[in-house]
Amino acid sequence: GIQVEQSPPDLILQEGANSTLRCNFSDSVNNLQWFHQNPWGQLINLFYIPSGTKQNGRLSATTVATERYSLLYISSSQTTDSGVYFCAVGWSNNDMRFGAGTRLTVKP
Amino acid sequence: KAGVTQTPRYLIKTRGQQVTLSCSPISGHRSVSWYQQTPGQGLQFLFEYFSETQRNKGNFPGRFSGRQFSNSRSEMNVSTLELGDSALYLCASSSRTKGTQYFGPGTRLLVL
């Protein structure tokens, strides 16, 4: 099956810093989503981005489907950005494969 | 619109018992997917239902089953519980079979 690799596995930032999270996948997909899981386990959808670039406030994402990777940018990080960031890829919502996640800690 | 709701939120069972978890999707959403999250295996797809039909199932034993009702609410059942079934069970709803998924808060199951 498709392999999903996220990097870095852990990231520690000072409040206000910027960061880039990466998601590599081993096969072509047409369904890619980024999620943030807060410390209570709630998964929040950040982007549905099978290709192209999207922005939502301090967050933006770019997927280059032909090169099989996606990037999530977080600017001016805040302590509330802490948590685990997952990317999930597939062809449909019934075959989504999640990466292992990037654990982000933002220190005040 | 109300978000995805899951009941119960916490559950403690013993080995050999069975359990039923419930998920109510966002109003109007017809696709419901279930996932298991454990520290060792991460987030794994269990199954997806769309308009009361199971469209796909992940690599889980037959002890894991589910169904979807005409109002799109879904239930998943785990029979003959094993210690390794302890996990956070998440459901997600979507308006389409491919698109943004919205997750519920999850059910934390502990098997003793």
Cis peptide before B8 (omega within 30 of 0): yes
In angstroms, the CA B60 to CA B100 distance is 24
Q: Which residue of B has its CA nearest to A84?
A: B42
Q: Residues near A59 by Cβ (< 8 Å), separated by ≥ 6?
A: A46, A47, A72, A73, A74, A75
What's the confidence (pLDDT) of residue B105? 96
A56 touches chain B (CB under 8 A): no
- Asked if residue B23 lies in contact with residue B106, where contact means CB atoms within 8 angstroms, the answer is no
What's the confidence (pLDDT) of residue A92? 80
Q: Give the residue among B81, B96, B82, B93 at the shortest CA–CA distance from B35.
A: B93
What's the confidence (pLDDT) of residue A1? 84
What's the confidence (pLDDT) of residue B99? 83
B9 touches chain A (CB under 8 A): no
pLDDT tens readout for residues B16-45 = 999 999 999 999 999 999 999 999 999 999
Q: Do the chains contact at A43 and B103, CB–CB below 8 Å?
A: yes
Q: Which residues of B touch A101 (CB under 8 A)?
A: 42
- What are the tokens at B52? 């009361």
- Minimal C-alpha gap between B47 and chain A (Å): 7
State the average pLDDT for chain B: 95
What's the confidence (pLDDT) of residue B18? 98
Q: Map residue A67 onto helix, strand or coil.
A: helix
- What are the tokens at A75? 């600017």
What's the confidence (pLDDT) of residue B103? 96
Give the mean pLDDT per block of 10 residues along chain A (108 residues).
Answer: 95 97 94 94 95 97 96 97 96 87 97
B78 touches chain A (CB under 8 A): no
Question: Is a pLDDT exceeding 80 seen at residue B54?
Answer: yes
pLDDT tens readout for residues B86-107 = 999 999 999 887 789 999 999 9
Question: Is a pLDDT exceeding 90 seen at residue B2?
Answer: no
**What angle (nearest 5°) sits at the alpha carbon of residue A26, between those of residues A20 and A28?**
100
- Asked if residue A100 lies in contact with residue A9, where contact means CB atoms within 8 angstroms, the answer is yes
Q: Do the chains contact at A94 and B43, CB–CB below 8 Å?
A: no
- What are the tokens at A22? 């990466």
Q: Do the chains contact at B97 and A41, CB–CB below 8 Å?
A: no
Q: Which residues of A touch B96 (CB under 8 A)?
A: 93
Q: Which residue of B has its CA nearest to A39?
A: B105
Indicate the pairing of strand A52-56 with strand A43-48.
unpaired
A/B interface, count of CB pairs below 8 Å: 64
Q: Which residues of B touch A100 (CB under 8 A)?
A: 42
- Minimal C-alpha gap between B18 and chain A (Å): 24
Q: Which residues of B touch A103 (CB under 8 A)?
A: none
